[in-house]
Structure 1
């Protein structure tokens, strides 16, 4: 699990859960710097994180620090003005070159709201996975839960169909099932810097896998969207749907 908004106080709970053998999934924590406004505050946060940067525990690791690059849904930075306010082009807080992680369920669930802010043409161009992959960008994918609905196959389905709550948006940006699966496995591991440990079923790598009662590659439409694994194996141990070993 990549948890992308962990405060320092919240993170203190995770090592305690690990010590109590109550942590039943691998966690990669992104410590939140949202709201920090100065270099001193960032340096203080990094000092707080110093003891968490070991990286040797395959169950619990700090993945990095989360900064907000722009104003989000209501104030995301755009080259052209907003559809609802022609004097406003969003708020850019950082300008960096970064890997891209796509949250397709977010587009599916919020497309109607997004059209009100940005207009239908720009919403159709959101998450242009086809173009990014063709350009060789480093791309992975996730759910953005709880903003988007959780479920890897819901995300795969969205990437291959471009379906949203108000219909298909930007079908030219759709990718294949195999490409979408790669974004959630090998590319997700690469995003965390763990491509040598996870992402493929290879001897010597961590024994994590999911078991399905049908082949997702042969499912289409709603059947793929709603498909969930029947079992999950983490570290070679069977984990029940309730998360208990």
Structure 2
């Protein structure tokens, strides 16, 4: 006789009925019709079984293979920015935070905003930040590649009218050389070591709150491509205290300046191991996936083959030399560390694929799924074919295109923006590819991502309809494809023996009309048998 299940979730609509039985965090039975549900109850329901009837349809939790959980958790601690609409609103919020922060301390914002959402369509300046917080150091973060500092923070970072340029970065300056406050890529990385560390308890509070919001969005597994050593420690403690509510696969953020400071990539990896950070550390809820490299910038500095639409003398920035990138990949492969490399523009993808090819030509062969291009926003047929031949996985994010479509069109031009993330070509060619949201750079809404992948509709209209995939393909890229990349027993399916990672939606994700699917959120989610109920989102 079967040992009773700990949990049975039954989902029904006017025309469907299905159920899942769970024990020890795994699915032990599945039923897809009324007779099967009755039989499942008869076989698996005992006195101690928790039975949860739900109105709706079962669906696997989404597997988001490029999602900045650590950054999103830090955003909870910073000055809120996601809904600002004017420079004055930014300054008011900084002024309010400064009023409750000791003089001489840092005021740091969240990073989940973009200047294109402002009426002024620009960054604030150092002078404006000085007026809002004259007695503080101010850092206004925007995404992962840009920030604005006030004059006190610039001075503390050694950024002056005569300090010169920063390797692999950009310092915005007035005509007389005075820095205006904006730092980009390497210039930003160079000053981040002077920022105060958040307390571990604050970080864990952010992780707990953020991971709950992920579950409410239907996301159960994330691969986080930018985790610091400090954040890894907080994640480990959150996991040990049962305060992490998603499965997280973390990547240690390793930009070129940190590698150079260590001396070499091997020295850098030695340093991580000396801190107890080893490949594949962790368990079924928190695991160290690997290393994150950065080869080019984002919207404003991705390396492009042709000049920017709004800067005809600019083709973006490569943040690693060919030799440096090749050696970094070599060290990761030979030392058993999977590595994901941010390459957004087509020239950035070229640089990455060239480095992988050089190592393969030297007999350095990586395991399947261990070399990943993060984004690959602009990839033509030849690049896709090269990625397939080199066994490179691609994690792509329609949500990034949609969330930042206005900046992409302004910077790259509409023609290039229309070709971003060519799902149809990737799938038809047989590429190894999965989907993500790139949250909090983009909205935490995989359903919107699915709709964008299938319609190519953006806030500026439909762009690149010929690159769309089907609904079933999009859902597969957000579930099974991510499971294949991450492995460790994940399946992205609701099947017997699989981890009990599923949700109940009010609509059928595969068959609901687009207008019914838009805005859909789960009413309940289950992760490894842990149940969270979610309020209806208005």
Is TM > 0.5 for Structure 1 vs Structure 2? yes
Figure out how many residues of one structure are paired with residues of the other and give that number. Answer: 241
Q: Cα 1:56–1:201, aligned 2, differ >3 Å: closer, same or farther?
A: farther
Distance in 2 between residues matched to 1:71 and 1:118, nearest whole Å? 13
2:250 to 13, 29, 36: 29
Distance in 2 between residues matched to 1:49 and 1:157, nearest whole Å? 40
Query: 1:9-36: per-residue Cα shift (whole Å, max 9, x none)?
Result: 1110111112222222211111111343
Residue 413 of structure 2 corresponds to residue 187 of structure 1: no
Q: Give the 3-state SS of the residue equivalent to 1:172 in structure 2.
A: helix
Query: 1:169-212: per-residue Cα shift (whole Å, max 9, x none)?
Result: 10000000000001000111122234x43312233321111111
Q: Give the 3-state SS of the residue equivalent to 1:124 in structure 2.
A: helix
Distance in 2 between residues matched to 1:187 and 1:117, nearest whole Å? 31
Query: 1:39-90: per-residue Cα shift (whole Å, max 9, x none)?
Result: 7354354235433434451011011111112121111111211112222222
- Cα contact 2:247–2:284 (8 A) shared by 1: yes
Q: Cα 1:54–1:102, aligned 2, differ >3 Å: closer, same or farther?
A: closer
User: 5+ unaligned residues in a row in structure 2: which ranges?
Assistant: 1-221, 326-350, 354-371, 373-392
2:527 to 228, 234, 239: 234
Residue 452 of structure 2 corresponds to residue 158 of structure 1: yes
Residue 228 of structure 2 corresponds to residue 7 of structure 1: yes
- Cα contact 1:211–1:230 (8 A) shared by 2: yes
Q: Cα 1:62–1:109, aligned 2, differ >3 Å: closer, same or farther?
A: same
- Cα contact 1:103–1:148 (8 A) shared by 2: no
Q: How does 1:1-245 map to 2 (within 5 A)?
A: 1-34=222-255, 35-38=257-260, 40=263, 42-50=265-273, 51-52=276-277, 53-55=279-281, 57-92=283-318, 93=320, 94=325, 95-97=351-353, 98=372, 99-194=393-488, 196-241=489-534
Q: Cα 1:185–1:73, aligned 2, differ >3 Å: closer, same or farther?
A: same
Larger Rg: 2
Distance in 1 between residues matched to 2:258 and 2:446, nearest whole Å? 32
In structure 1, what is the equivalent of residue 105 of structure 2?
A: none
- Alpha carbon RMSD of aligned pairs, Å? 2.0
Distance in 1 between residues matched to 2:352 and 2:297, nearest whole Å? 15
User: 5+ unaligned residues in a row in structure 1: which ranges?
Assistant: none
Query: 1:126-161: per-residue Cα shift (whole Å, max 9, x none)?
Result: 011111111111110011111111122111111001
Q: Cα 1:123–1:75, aligned 2, differ >3 Å: closer, same or farther?
A: same
Q: Give the 3-state SS of the residue equivalent to 2:426 in structure 1.
A: helix
Distance in 2 between residues matched to 1:69 and 1:225, nearest whole Å? 35
User: Which stretch of structure 1 is more off in the superposition, 214-223 or 138-147?
Assistant: 214-223
Higher strand share: 2
Q: Cα 1:48–1:236, aligned 2, differ >3 Å: closer, same or farther?
A: farther
Q: Cα 1:19–1:45, aligned 2, differ >3 Å: closer, same or farther?
A: farther
- Cα contact 1:100–1:138 (8 A) shared by 2: yes
Distance in 2 between residues matched to 1:213 and 1:203, nearest whole Å? 23
TM-score, normalized by length of structure 1? 0.90
Q: Give the 3-state SS of the residue equivalent to 1:181 in structure 2.
A: helix
State the Cα distance separating 1:225 from its structure 2 match. Answer: 2.5
State the Cα distance separating 1:241 from its structure 2 match. Answer: 3.5
TM-score, normalized by length of structure 2? 0.43
- Cα contact 2:249–2:287 (8 A) shared by 1: yes
- Cα contact 1:33–1:42 (8 A) shared by 2: no
